[in-house]
Amino acid sequence: MNLERRYQNVEDFAKAARRRLPKIFADYIDGGSFSETTLRRNRDDFDRYALRQRVLAPLNAKSDLSVTVTGRASRLPFGPGPVGFLGLYRKDGDIAVARTAAKAGIPFVLSTFSINGLGTIRKATGVAPEFQLYLDEDPAVNADHLEACRILGVDRIFLTVDTAITSVRERDVKNGFRSVDRMTPGLFWQFAQRPAWSLNLLRSGFPEVELVKGRAEFGRGAMAQAGNLSRRLDKNLTWDTVVELRKAWPGQLFIKGISDPDDAALAREAGVEGIVLSNHGGRQLDHGRSTVALIPEIREALGPSLALFVDSGFRRGSDIVKAIALGADYVLMGRPFAWAVAAEGEAGVAHLINLLESEIEITLNLMGLSSIEQLRRAGTEVLR
């Protein structure tokens, strides 16, 4: 069955990915913190907003879905956000997502926790990725990351600030993710039950996180490195940290992980170009609010001049339309791209992008709109 018939939406990719991946990785992608209440709210709260259908409006033959934010153009109003360990879900998965994004004319954000590093992604795609920076407890490690960004032409960094305190993701605890640093009988059995994944990924040995490969303090192999990367996150992040990074980094600086209006107001004073409204996909504070419900308050606190990106819970083109109507500039998506590359590799990622693009265009047209710019100007008038 071809991809167009088999995969009609994001959930179809998720189901296929779960069938292909060992449980330890499927649960790592899917899971949230504690009771997973925030995880559920991220989806449920999209239903709070209905869209207005308008008819007999003059429409362009082809809708313009492009946006330009802080001087950087994107052919579509969404793109792949940073996802750790994409290269564990399929060999060179981070390269596959980055390369497909480049072909689609949308930016790609590489995680510090990615299997392939900045230089490899740049070589594979011909363009420098954007970079999600997790600050390590060792300033020398952070300096190395920033220097690599400068050398390779990275022009936008996303400083992630909501994981200095790591929450409990009960699925990961049960599976041993970040605590298993070697092959165990249970892990071997999981891998044996997924022969297609095992043959694809393990023929050249178990992958490593390229950005810390060769550093003894991080260990060897992605499983050990995952635990050490997490344990070594700088737990003393403050607004002074942001100010110091702003002085050290000449390119665009976004703060990722803001989900309170008071913090958005402080970000406005910190000299950054923008923020990512994010609750880390429901993986940090349990019983928090959904990001989509927070967009109007965050936009008001942030003001009109700073860029407002948003992630967490986005699965449909209509979700993206609602976010922009509420005041967001751009949507980052994590799990959908992880599921797509796990299920079908580069072809799956390309099909996912096409599906979302089509959903957005059809949704806009049924609302009597032909462009993202028209949607932005209309704002909440298109909502009920």
- DSSP letter for each residue of 91-126: TTHHHHHHHHHHHHT---EEETT-SS-HHHHHHHHS
Q: Determine how β-strand 72-74 pairs with β-strand 67-69.
A: antiparallel
In sequence order, the 6+-apart residues with CB closer than 8 A to the CB of 211 are 112, 114, 117, 118, 145, 148
| Structure confidence by residue, pLDDT tens digits, 321-370 | 999 999 999 999 999 999 999 999 999 999 999 999 999 999 999 999 99
**What is the rounded average pLDDT of the residues 83-107?**
97
**Choice between 204 and 23, residue whose per-residue pLDDT is larger:** 23
280 noted as active-site residue: yes
| Structure confidence by residue, pLDDT tens digits, 138-178 | 999 999 999 999 999 999 999 999 998 989 999 999 998 87
Q: Which residues pair with 159 in a beta bridge?
A: 133, 255
| Structure confidence by residue, pLDDT tens digits, 189-237 | 999 999 999 999 988 788 999 999 989 999 988 888 988 999 999 999 9
**CATH architecture, domain defined by 3-382:** Alpha-Beta Barrel (3.20)
Tokens read off for 156:
């936008």
Q: Measure the CA–CA gap between 301 and 265, rounded to whole angstroms.
A: 5
Q: What sign results for the dihedral spanned by CA atoms 143, 145, 150, 151?
A: positive
Pick the catalytic residue: 145, 280, 287, 351? 280
Q: How far is CA 158 from CA 38, 110, 251, 296, 333, in A?
A: 22, 10, 11, 22, 14
| Structure confidence by residue, pLDDT tens digits, 270-286 | 999 999 999 999 999 99
Instruction: Using pLDDT thresholds of 50, 70 and 90, give the confidence band for residue 266.
Output: very high
How much is the pLDDT for 202? 87
pTM over 0.85: yes
Average model confidence (pLDDT) across the chain: 96
In sequence order, the 6+-apart residues with CB closer than 8 A to the CB of 37 are 282, 286, 287
* Length of the chain in terms of residues written: 384
Whether the CB-CB separation of 367 and 317 falls below 8 Å is answered with: no
**What is the rounded average pLDDT of the residues 235-263?**
97
Instruction: Tell me how many degrees the CA angle 237-328-381 measures, rounded to the nearest 5.
Output: 150
SS (H, E, C) 294-312: HHHHHHHHHCCCCEEEECC
Tokens read off for 380:
């909440």
Q: How many C-beta atoms surround the C-beta of residue 150 within 10 A?
A: 12
Q: Measure the CA–CA gap between 281 and 198, rounded to whole angstroms.
A: 27
**What is the rounded average pLDDT of the residues 87-114?**
97
Instruction: Using pLDDT thresholds of 50, 70 and 90, give the confidence band for residue 183.
Output: confident
> What percentage of residues in the chain have a pLDDT greater than 90?
91
SS (H, E, C) 134-169: CCECCHHHHHHHHHHHHHHCCCEEEEECCCCCCCCC
How much is the pLDDT for 49? 98
> Where do runs of H (alpha helix) occur along the chain?
3-6, 10-20, 23-30, 37-44, 86-89, 93-104, 118-125, 139-152, 170-175, 185-192, 195-202, 222-231, 239-248, 261-269, 291-302, 317-326, 335-366, 372-378
Helix 93-104 with 118-125: angle, nearest 10 deg: 50
Ranges of each domain in the chain: 3-382
Instruction: Using pLDDT thresholds of 50, 70 and 90, give the confidence band for residue 287.
Output: very high
How much is the pLDDT for 1? 59
**What is the rounded average pLDDT of the residues 83-102?**
97
**What is the rounded average pLDDT of the residues 248-257?**
97
